[in-house]
Structures are given as structure tokens and as C-alpha cells.
Amino acid sequence: MLPVVVVHGGAGQIPKENTEVCCAGVREAARSGYSVLTSGGSAMDAVVEAVTMLENNPVYNAGKGSVLNVKGEVEMDALVMDGRTLDSGAVSAVRGVANPTQLARMVMEKTSHLCLTAEGASKFARAMGVPEVPEESLITDYARMRWKKLEPGSNPVECQIGKIGTVGAVAVDVEGNLACATSTGGILNQMEGRVGDTPCIGCGGYADNQIGAVSPTGHGEAIMKVTLSRLILFHMEQGKSPEEASDLALDYMKERVKGLGGVVVVDPKGTWTARFNSLQMTWAAAQQEQLHYGLYHGEDFTEPI
Amino acid sequence: MLPVVVVHGGAGQIPKENTEVCCAGVREAARSGYSVLTSGGSAMDAVVEAVTMLENNPVYNAGKGSVLNVKGEVEMDALVMDGRTLDSGAVSAVRGVANPTQLARMVMEKTSHLCLTAEGASKFARAMGVPEVPEESLITDYARMRWKKLEPGSNPVECQIGKIGTVGAVAVDVEGNLACATSTGGILNQMEGRVGDTPCIGCGGYADNQIGAVSPTGHGEAIMKVTLSRLILFHMEQGKSPEEASDLALDYMKERVKGLGGVVVVDPKGTWTARFNSLQMTWAAAQQEQLHYGLYHGEDFTEPI
């Protein structure tokens, strides 16, 4: 069944006018990730490729297109994890970089740390020669319009309804190695310096060659409270399938902390799933020359790659 | 058996001249936390009280006495978690506050977020009326001496040998509620903006009334890779005792990612343990008018409270 890549473009309700482009973007990202895998690239290469494409696509809440914080600024979080070694890299509240996921990978590969935050992350990016991009280049008209429409004092959690667009990917490569990547602009109207689930290992993603890999999306604070990604893998360690484990964990998150969201998951054999308890989640999976994709519950459209 | 509080002052090797004061400090913190509990205070009140005392004590690597980063500056991380609701609060890479744990509690109680980082955390502290303290007041002569002795380009992980002094506490109150708190200055010579395990929920601590509470110390990056706190609680969910669960998880961390460290753990009945696979860990536990404490493996000294 190997290799496989599964991508999501966020849970939550997508504005009608964006549905087509959001669904097209994840299909394109899954195709690109799959092409990396079939060319002999690693699972890590594939997830970073797929998520980079979603960061560059302005319809998602990551990289260009990120939601704005309470001050109207962009602060981004990203995480990658390598299932071979449990090595991981993350950045939180970083500004002025086009592709936080690539920077997270550099944290993993070029430092002895796992996470760099805020100005420290920006300084590291400069030291690595990552081009600094002007904040304006990350802000779309749509993001600014949504921010401007807010009432003073709007609650970030409530603002979030209507667009929860964290992006992510999981993959298994031809050698059976697993990886995950997740990237986000956070939540609309968030406080300056708010860090959500994404850069928090075990919450915003986890990958272990011995168990599986997960990338989640949804209410970040709820995902954190239940360490959603690691929780799903614990269920898989107990013998549950990726689908059963995801449903158990998402049900628990809803019941215990009233959180909604979704996940993409793979196991070491290449079994994959995309599950959510929100209204929608854009997702796409590429395996055995077939592309699967969907948006609403129960959907699994296919087309040849 | 309720109530109980268990405190640690860090794993790793304590300089001989500091052994006495390090052991005295955790005993004092455990007594104070216990006094909060026997006066009807909550588990959260008790862990914040105990960790605040350790932050104010210059012999530990948290608050005053924090190790210095590569630039000779102090950046601190802290986490609290409330086992009733899974609510949590954290700050990462925060500067200029005396008690990061109290600030983490404010993030939990006064915002809709779980974690604030760097300058955003400092701004929140100012908005909450938390006094800003000069960096000099957090830096001890010992911390500056250790930083100055470094060779240029010293590896932060290797520098760490000799002092891994993250502090933390777990507690169960008379109502059976659980909480944890962890606080750290990070690792000597860390990059600016490095975030370790401490503020990362599931890694630097976890508390769930239905399972138990954990506060760890040790190699932060290794603790993150295995999400140590949540891992211990998963073992307890599978029927292991706090001691068995801790040993399983610490053995796994050593084997899988070569990480050393230690933990203090409680379960909802008030069963507690303090376990470590490092050479030493200063710890103290207060329960049923008895104070237990130790430093080396196998030690469990007792005295009346």
C-alpha cells in the first residue's frame, strides 16, 4: 500500500465562495506530496512539500492568508516530526517568513532544540538565510476584511467559527518511514503571542514509525487539553485502526472539553483516514495512483492521479 | 490519604556545595504547599504556592537563579494545569517577571488561550498589573559564572550536564482535585527563543482528575519527543501504579531517545511517587502530617510536618 500522503486544509465551515478553491488546493498538495514519494523522496520531504503549497495558497489560514491577531498582525506556528527518530522541529508566533514549516524543519535539522519562538525564531531564520518577507505579503484582502468586521472585544474562540483553516499532512514513504507537518496562522483576533496546539508536539502533530502519524485541525485550545495527536496514537497502540482511534479521540474531545476538529492519520502499513466532527474538513489522500478527497462527512471521491 | 503535594527541584547532578540548600528548599516548598491544602486550599493553589517558593529560591533553575541563554539573558517557561477541567495555562520565553507560574495561571484564568509567548506574554503581564522586574534581579552570581565559563559555541545539551534544575509540583486536594505546575529557566546557553518541554502541555506536565498528575524534569527535548507526562498517565490508565508507570516511561525515554530525567506523580486517591533515571533528583512529598524527601535513588527520609 505504500507510499501514501494525506493532506487537510482545515476543519470548520468554509465560506461557500471558497469551497471549490479549498478543495482544489488540497488535491493539488496531495498530488505534489505523492509525486515526491514516488520519486523516492522521504515522508518528511513529502509533508513539507504539501504543507508549503498550502502555506503559499492564500485560501488557507497558514503562511499567506493567515488570520490576523488582535493587532491586525500575522503570527504563525508550525511543526514537523520525523517518525524514525521522534525528532521534531517547531516555530511559534513567528513573523515575516513565507513558509514556517520549512523553518520548523530547519530547527529540527540545524539546532539541538525542538522549538524556537517569536523573535528568536525570526533571528534563526535570518541566520539560516531564509528571506524575510514583508508582513503585507502574507495578508490577504479577505483576512483584513474579516479582521476589520470584528466588534471591539470580540472573543477569538467565537470569531473562529466560520474559518478554522490550519493545514497539515501525514505521509508514509517507500521505506516505511512516517512524518507529519502542521502549519497555522492561529485564530482570528488572538492575543499577541498566543500559541495554539500546532507547535506543541503531541497536540498539533505526532509521528512515530512504530505507531502512526497524525496532523489535526480545529479548536486549538481543545486539541491541547486532550493532546489529540498523541491520544489517537495511544488508541492505535491499543489495537484500534486509524479510523476507530480518530473517532474515539474526537468524540472524547467533544465530550470532555466541547472541542470540534478533524485529523488526517496514517499507520506504518499505509492505512490512512481523514476524520472530523466539525461540519466540514477539506482533505485529500494519494495512494496507489488514486486520489481520494472530500469535504462533508461520508464523502470519498476518487480520481486517477 | 488525601491531601498530598509532591515537589521536585530538578534532576541531574547538583554541585556538592548546593546539596543541602537544594534539599532544604524542596522540603520547605512541600510544607508550604501542604499547609495550603490543609487550610482548604485547592490543588492548584498548592502547586502554585510550592513552585513560587522554588522560583524565588536562587538555587533552582527557575525564576531567580535561571540559567542564561546564549546571549547571557533570562527567558523562562512555565505551565499549570487543572485536573478538573483540563484547563491549562502556560508562558514561554517570558522575560522580566519574578514568577512565571503565577503568570501561567493568569493565562489560564483570564484569557481564552492556553499559552502566551515572549513579548506577548510580557505585555499580558503588564496588562494584569504584574510588576516588571529588572533582569538583573533574576540573575545570580552562580548563573553568570557558569555562563562566562562556557567555551564559545558550547552545545547547550552538553552544558546542561551538572545542572538540570527545572522545578515542579503535583497535588491532590481534600476534594480530590488534581493539579500540576512546572517552571524553568531552560538550558544553559540555549538559543534565544528556545522553548523546551515545560510550557508544552502533555510534555512539561499534565493533570486529569480521572487519571493523575505529573510534573517532569530533565532533558527537555527528550521529554518532548516522548510526551513524557501524558505517556505516564496513559500507562496509569492501563492499570499501572504511578511508580510502575513512571519507570516504564522513563525507561522508554532512555532507550528510545537517550533522555534522562525524573518525575513527581500523584493519582486521584493520593498515591504518590518521585522517580528518576538521572543520578539525582531533589524531591519532597507531604501527606498525613509526614514529610518524605530524598536526593539519591532509594532514599525516602521522613520527618513529621
Picking from A118, A200, A203, the nearest residue to B119 by CB comes out as A118
* Residues of chain B neighbouring A157 (CB-CB closer than 8 A): 112
- pLDDT bin (cut points 50, 70, 90) of residue B181 is very high
Taking the C-alpha atoms of residue B90 and residue A54, their distance in angstroms, rounded to an integer, is 29
Confidence of residue A163 (pLDDT cuts 50, 70, 90): low
Closest-approach residue (CA) in chain B for A77: B117
Q: Give B224 to chain A, closest Cα distance, Å.
A: 7
Interface contact flag, B203 A201, Cβ < 8 Å: yes
Q: Is B40 left (phi over 0), alpha (psi -120 to 50) or beta?
A: left
At residue A68, the pLDDT reads 95
Q: Where are the beta strands (DSSP E) in chain B?
A: 4-11, 76-82, 87-94, 115-117, 167-172, 178-184, 206-208, 212-218, 261-266, 272-276, 280-287, 290-296, 301-304
User: Testing the interface with A: which of B115, B123, B158 to mutate, by most A Cβ within 10 A?
Assistant: B115
Do the annotations mark residue B170 as ligand-binding?
no
Count, residues in chain B? 305
B86 half-sphere exposure, CB direction, 13 A CA radius: 21
B85 interaction partners in chain A (CB closer than 8 Å):
257
Q: What is the mean pLDDT of chain B?
A: 94
Distance CA B276, CA B217 (A): 9
Instruction: Taking residues B5-32, report their average pLDDT.
Output: 92
DSSP H/E element including B125: helix B118-127
Chain A environment of B196 (Cβ under 8 Å): 113-115
pLDDT one-digit tens code per residue, A229-267: 999 999 999 999 999 999 999 999 999 999 999 999 999
CB contact under 8 Å between B156 and A113, yes or no, is yes
Query: What does the block give as the cell for A249?
Result: 479521540
CB proximity list for B20: less than 8 A, separation 6 or greater? none
> Which of B198, B136, B137, B116 is closest to B165 using CA atoms?
B198
Residue B161 confidence (pLDDT) = 47
Residue A219 annotated as lining a ligand binding site: yes
Q: Which domain holds residue B239?
A: 4-304
Give the span between the Cα atoms of A245 and A225, in whole angstroms: 17
* Cβ distance of B118 and A157 shorter than 8 Å: no
ipTM of the complex: 0.96
Enter the DSSP assignment of B200: S
Beta bridge partners of A82: A87, A179
A217 among annotated binding-site residues? yes
- Of B274, B180, B185, nearest to B230 by C-alpha is B180
Please report the pLDDT score of residue A126 as a whole number: 98
pLDDT in tens, B280-295: 999 999 999 999 999 9
Sorting pLDDT into bands at 50, 70 and 90, what band is B157? low
Chain A neighbors of B118, CB-CB under 8 A: 93, 117-120, 193
pLDDT for B180 beyond 60: yes
Spatial distance between the Cα atoms of B176 and B270, rounded to a whole number of angstroms: 8
Q: How far is B169 from chain A (nearest CA, A)?
A: 19
Query: Helices A228-237 and A242-257, interaxial angle, to 10°?
Result: 130
Q: Which residues of A touch B96 (CB under 8 A)?
A: none
- Rounded to 10 deg, the angle between the B228-237 and A228-237 helix axes is 40
Say if the Cβ atoms of A202 and B230 lie within 8 Å.
yes
Q: Whole-angstrom Cα distance, residue A101 to residue A103?
A: 5
Choose the closest CB to A117 out of B118, B203, B234: B118
Helix ranges (DSSP H) in A3-139:
19-38, 43-56, 100-110, 118-127
pLDDT tens readout for residues B67-117: 999 999 999 999 999 999 999 999 999 999 999 999 999 999 999 999 999
R_g of chain B computed on alpha carbons: 17
| Cell representation of residue B120 | 506577548
Find which of B75, B86, B158, B258 to mutate to test the A interface (most A CBs within 10 Å of its CB): B86
pLDDT of residue B164: 58
DSSP 8-state class, residue A194: B
Spatial strand order in the sheet of B301-304: B115-117, B87-94, B76-82, B178-184, B167-172, B4-11, B280-287, B290-296, B301-304
When CB atoms are compared, the residue of B112, B200, B226 closest to A156 is: B112
Q: What's the domain count of chain B?
A: 1
CB distance A9 to A167 below 8 Å: yes
Question: What distance in Å separates the CA atoms of residue A247 and residue A261, rounded to the nearest whole number?
Answer: 11
Q: Closest-CA residue in chain B for A115? A: B195
Tell me: is residue B195 an annotated ligand-binding position. yes
Q: What are phi and psi of B277, to 5 degrees?
A: -115, 10
Query: Do the chains contact at B201 and A201, CB–CB below 8 Å?
Result: no
Of B4, B10, B2, residue with least CA distance to B198 = B10
Chain A contact probe: residue of B201, B206, B211, B228 with most A CBs at under 10 A: B201
A194 is in an annotated binding site: yes
Instruction: From the candidates A52, A166, A184, A273, give the one annotated as an active-site residue.
Output: A166
Beta bridge partners of A302: A292
C-alpha separations of A246 from A167, A180, A213, B109, B234 in Å: 17, 16, 11, 30, 16
Chains A & B: contacts with CB separation below 8 Å? 156
Residue B196's closest CA among A229, A117, A198?
A117
Q: Kindly report the CATH number assigned to the domain that includes residue B217.
A: 3.60.20.30
Taking the CA of residue B293 and the nearest CA in chain A, the distance in Å comes to: 31
Average pLDDT of chain A is: 94
Q: What is the pLDDT of residues A61-94, one digit of tens each?
A: 999 999 999 999 999 999 999 999 999 999 999 9
Q: Considering the entire predicted model, what is its pTM?
A: 0.96
User: How would residue A173 be classed by pLDDT, with cut points 50, 70 and 90?
Assistant: very high
Does the annotation list B194 as a binding residue?
yes
